Amino acid sequence: MATFQLNVNGELHKVEAAPNTPLLWVLRDNLSLTGTKYGCGMAQCGACTVHLDGTAVRSCSTPVSSVENKKVTTIEGISSGEELHPVQQAWIAENVPQCGYCQTGQIMSAVSLLSKNPAPNDSEIEAGMSGNICRCGTYERIRKAIKRASNTSAK
Amino acid sequence: MKVEINDSKIYKVNRRDFLKATSISMSGLMLGISFSCTNTSKKLAGNPDFTFSPNLFISIHGNGDVSLVAHRSEMGTGIRTSLPLVMADEMEADWNRVKVVQATGDEKYGDQNTDGSYSVRMFFTPLRKAGATVRLLLEQAAAKEWGVDASECKAQNHEVVHSSGKTLGFGYLAEKAAALPVPDESSITLKSPKDFKYITKQSSIVDLKDIVTGKAKFGFDSNHLPNTKIAVVKRNPEPGAGLTSFQAEKAMAVPGVIKVFTLNAPGFPTTLNKPLGGVVVVAENTWAALEGRKALDVSWSKGANADYDSHSYNNGMLQRAKTKGKVRRENGQVDKALAGAKKVIEVDYMVPLLSHAPMETPCALAHVHDNVCEVWAPVQDPQGTRKALAEALGVDVKAVTVNVTLLGGAFGRKSKPDFVVEAALASKTMGSPVKILWTREDDIQHDFYHFPAAQHLKVGIDANNKVTSWLHRSVFPPIGGTSNAAEKEASGAELSMGMIDLPFAIDNVCCETHEAPAKTRIGWLRSVANIHHMYAVGCTLDEVAHARGVDPIQNVLELLGSDRNIDFGPITSEYWNYGEKPEDFPWSTARFRNVIETVKDKSGWGKSLPKGSGQGFAAHRSFLTYVACVVEVTVDANNKIRIPKVDYVVDCGIPVNPERIKSQFEGGAAFAASLALKSEITVTTGAVQQSNFHNYQVARMSDAPYETAVHIIESNEKPTGVGEPPIPPLIPALCNAIFAATGKRVRQLPVRLA
């Protein structure tokens, strides 16, 4: 076990964990941030997506020892106070979720995509979201929500 | 799949509970004061500590808030919203004042098994009655308060309004209504559909904001009990088989691992309820549990299915399917008609084992202490879970509480409570709360799989280009074989999902089966046997159309014959109408024809498409809902299949929640695309070969339909479910579209064009 200092959603936390512990389990078990989900444990499904310094990564395959001195952002950290992030608002406007389990990871991927490409076309959305599986099959609405958020941000 | 569906008992339960209306929760002084809300003098609220619970499902609080119980499990269909909306509409509650409360597993609620696409079908009318009863009570309470006749009072939008214009709020009236006798059922009037405010209207799900902010609590997220330990189980790759030996030392050496112990294997068949057994590793946190499990040395015993090889098993089924089998439906003389046919289509269809792979793997938090058991788990069948827990722990069901969390997908997997029983047994051993987590590998390698199936069809066309004979043989291990080794052949209910319920006016029909003993755990997957039956039937119909030189939609309409309600009684004694009486939910060829003709119109059927593109059609009635489907595909030079457009037409009776009906069909199309294009489980030496999403593939964004248009038929027929009906017709429609685009027939899933 070792002690790590993490910057999660702008707050500093000291956590005790084995160095190879995936960030996912530190977020969930140590910090009770359960919005980040387990889906596969091998970076295949994207349910665990968080941002490291603003870029989407799969927290299930990111050792906690590698994230010190980096800013970790989870789904709990993307809205400012009561006002939801424009991507979250777009998700609500398009009624995207069905079961909802994968959607936090989808949103984190979408936020990262839009931060790098504010107006993605269909194939760019497909490429940017290809690492996220939704077993309920909400892909069409995810695409629509990303376009909606893109348009909102552009205005 | 639920074979026996009793008539709903819910209204009777309500009646009984109405008589217990004296057990209203009260606390503090009963002053009967009215609160004046903000700057209005309207009497909106009453005693804030008073709660009027006229039935099990509805409570009105003195402050005006309304609590509505959701007794079905939410796995993505929107049922946690749709049924409370029905009650709110009938009682004229303001949806913004409604809080939805999830029920625990308890038979007092009537059926809670969220399965078989029957939640809306079974509970629409009883819950309307429950809401309408409360509306009447509130109107009567206001009438008494004002000293007027109840006919002058009308509940609307959380108030009762008198014909003079004066109003009283629901909160204020709660206590008054509680003092009134329960109205007789005959005095209740249900709303006219034209007065619906929420039913058939658009709405968002109640958990929407919590989901997009990460606050929604799924089973995996249950972390509220202090001192909860995390456990994972190492299981024999061969389901049901036991353990020879294990070494715990290396596992115990992993920091955080607390205990390693065994759970007995059930043998085979396993049953649907019992855990698979194995070695349990309990730790202080998830990673320690996983690392501890990895460090275990385990030696497994071989069981009854150690030689199970899915490839040779499936080939064996196919060979049997080519021979005369046990007759399950017979009309006319198929052999004779086939012998006299001018053309005979003879085709085989293969479907592999399939895994559910919900995004949230099985998981449960259990706390067993002092002879009681409480669990928090994502389960489709909370009452079944409760019984399984009571049996496994040797306690009365009353000592077991099953709290139902949100389900991160289920598709039939979470009907089976084996993983919850694991958690309870682990908690009992540990003497502390234990959360069991399944990894994706656990999930894919230890599922209750969709049947592998081999089918053989032979269709005869005579000299007049008429279809005269239809022979269909279906071979697959029945679900019953997972619980009872004697069940080796498909049940009538399983065959009524797309085989013996063939609706066509063909003179000579024969449906046959062969034995196929279960070699692994078989369970129901979204739309069950309709998956493989409709794949084969829908594709064969397309081949028949081409053989006849008739448009595929025209072909099906011709085979359908005149408009009628099909009486399957004389046709086959094994027909099952999804648990409903045929007189209540007849098989209407007119409704079937209507969805087919509508999809032809809406999809632009027959439009000109570029090379490498094509349209395909299929239609099916499953779970009493009529669906027609046209799929458009493109196949590029690398054989990458894309689905630019799907058109669905659905007749599900009254469309209770159209927005969620659409989402079920959009998602269903993507789910079916997974089954058709991506997914396959194989087994060698009794062990599943796939382990995670890299080798058990499911549809990603580029595989799913780009656009799914869902056209809902306006109807006043009784509502039927939509969770499963999107799946069956999409697969053959997609395969028929691939044929239109490439000239290649797809007779084995998943599609491999190269």
| Contact flag B666-A47 (C-beta cutoff 8 Å) | no
Q: Closest approach of chain B CAs to the CA of A69, in angstroms?
A: 22
Report yes or no: B708 at the A interface, CB cutoff 8 Å.
yes
| Contact flag A140-B212 (C-beta cutoff 8 Å) | no
At B87, the amino acid letter reads M
Choose among A44, A99, A143: nearest Cβ to B76. Answer: A99
Q: Report the first-to-last Cα separation within chain B, whole angstroms.
A: 36
| Contact flag A98-B78 (C-beta cutoff 8 Å) | yes
The distance between the two most distant Cα atoms of chain A, rounded to a whole number of Å, is 49
| Contact flag B213-A36 (C-beta cutoff 8 Å) | no
Report yes or no: B174 at the A interface, CB cutoff 8 Å.
no
At B289, the amino acid letter reads A
Report yes or no: B101 at the A interface, CB cutoff 8 Å.
no
Q: Closest approach of chain A CAs to the CA of B102, in angstroms?
A: 15
Chain A residues in contact with B209 by the CB 8 A cut-off are 84, 92
Bridge-partner residues for B349, per DSSP? Answer: B455
Bridge-partner residues for A11, per DSSP? Answer: A8
Please state the separation of Cα B13 from the chain's center in Å: 25
List all residues 6 or more positions away from A13 whose beta carbon is below 8 Å from its beta carbon: A5, A6, A7, A30, A31
The distance between the two most distant Cα atoms of chain B, rounded to a whole number of Å, is 88
| Contact flag B255-A141 (C-beta cutoff 8 Å) | no
Report yes or no: B220 at the A interface, CB cutoff 8 Å.
yes
Q: What is the pTM of this model?
A: 0.95
Choose among B216, B406, B704: nearest Cβ to A139. Answer: B704
| Contact flag A29-B230 (C-beta cutoff 8 Å) | yes
| Contact flag A125-B701 (C-beta cutoff 8 Å) | yes
Chain B residues in contact with A36 by the CB 8 A cut-off are 214
Determine the pLDDT at residue B16: 35
Chain A residues in contact with B444 by the CB 8 A cut-off are none
Determine the pLDDT at residue B27: 25
Quick: pLDDT tens for B574-611. 999 999 999 999 999 999 999 999 999 999 999 999 99
Cα–Cα distances in angstroms (integers) from residue A123 to residues A4, B703, B706, in the given order: 39, 13, 11
| Contact flag B220-A42 (C-beta cutoff 8 Å) | no
Average pLDDT in the B210-223 region?
A: 98
Quick: pLDDT tens for A101-144. 999 999 999 999 999 999 999 999 999 999 999 999 999 999 99
- Closest chain B CA to residue A42: B692
Domain coordinates of chain A in residue numbers? 2-77, 86-154
List all residues 6 or more positions away from B599 whose beta carbon is below 8 Å from its beta carbon: B553, B605, B617, B619, B628, B629, B630, B647, B648, B649, B711
Domain A2-77 falls under CATH 3.10.20.30? yes
User: Which residue do the tokens 């009624």 mark?
Assistant: A95
In angstroms, what is the C-alpha Rg of chain B? 28
| Contact flag A45-B359 (C-beta cutoff 8 Å) | yes
Q: How confident is the model at residue B203 (pLDDT cuts 50, 70, 90)?
A: confident
Average pLDDT in the B726-731 region?
A: 98
Q: Closest approach of chain B CAs to the CA of A97, in angstroms?
A: 7
Q: Tokens for B552, please give them.
A: 């595929």
- Closest chain A CA to residue B362: A39
Determine the pLDDT at residue A153: 62
- In chain B, the percentage of residues whose pLDDT exceeds 90 is 93
Same topology, domains A2-77 and A86-154? Answer is: no
Q: How confident is the model at residue A82 (pLDDT cuts 50, 70, 90)?
A: confident
Please calculate the CA angle B509-B318-B559 and round it to the nearest 5 degrees: 25
Is it the case that residue B32 has pLDDT exceeding 50?
no
Report yes or no: B439 at the A interface, CB cutoff 8 Å.
yes
Nearest to B380, CA basis, from B399, B354, B356:
B356
The larger pLDDT score, comparing residue B10 to residue B744, is at: B744
The larger pLDDT score, comparing residue B50 to residue B5, is at: B50
Average pLDDT in the B32-41 region?
A: 33
Is it the case that residue B26 has pLDDT exceeding 70?
no
Nearest to A108, CA basis, from A40, A59, A69, A70:
A59
The larger pLDDT score, comparing residue B2 to residue B666, is at: B666
Is it the case that residue B14 has pLDDT exceeding 80?
no
Is it the case that residue B503 has pLDDT exceeding 70?
yes
Query: What gap in Å lies between CA B467 and CA A50, rounded to an integer?
Result: 58
Choose among A25, A100, A133: nearest Cβ to B406. Answer: A100
Chain B residues in contact with A91 by the CB 8 A cut-off are 212
Bridge-partner residues for B646, per DSSP? Answer: B631, B708
Domain A86-154 falls under CATH 3.40.50.1820? no
Query: What gap in Å lies between CA B754 and CA B745, rounded to an integer?
Result: 12
Disruptive mutation site among A62, A99, A124 for chain B (greatest number of B CBs within 10 Å): A99
Report yes or no: B361 at the A interface, CB cutoff 8 Å.
yes
Average pLDDT in the B392-421 region?
A: 98
SS (H, E, C) B486-511: CCCCCCHHHHCCCCCCCCCCCCEEEE
Is it the case that residue B20 has pLDDT exceeding 50?
no
| Contact flag A84-B670 (C-beta cutoff 8 Å) | no
Query: What gap in Å lies between CA B199 and CA B157, rounded to an integer?
Result: 14
Mean pLDDT of all residues in chain B? 94
Q: How confident is the model at residue B339 (pLDDT cuts 50, 70, 90)?
A: very high
Chain A residues in contact with B673 by the CB 8 A cut-off are 137
Query: A73 and A54 in contact (C-beta within 8 Å)?
Result: yes
Average pLDDT in the B114-120 region?
A: 96
Q: How would you label A20-48 residue by residue, b for 16+ Cβ within 10 Å and e otherwise?
A: ebbbbbbbbbbbebbbbbbbbbbbbbbbb
| Contact flag A38-B218 (C-beta cutoff 8 Å) | no
| Contact flag B212-A135 (C-beta cutoff 8 Å) | no
| Contact flag B670-A137 (C-beta cutoff 8 Å) | yes
Quick: pLDDT tens for B128-175. 999 999 999 999 999 999 999 999 999 999 999 999 999 999 999 999
Determine the pLDDT at residue B30: 24
ipTM of the complex: 0.98
| Contact flag B214-A75 (C-beta cutoff 8 Å) | yes
| Contact flag A34-B692 (C-beta cutoff 8 Å) | no
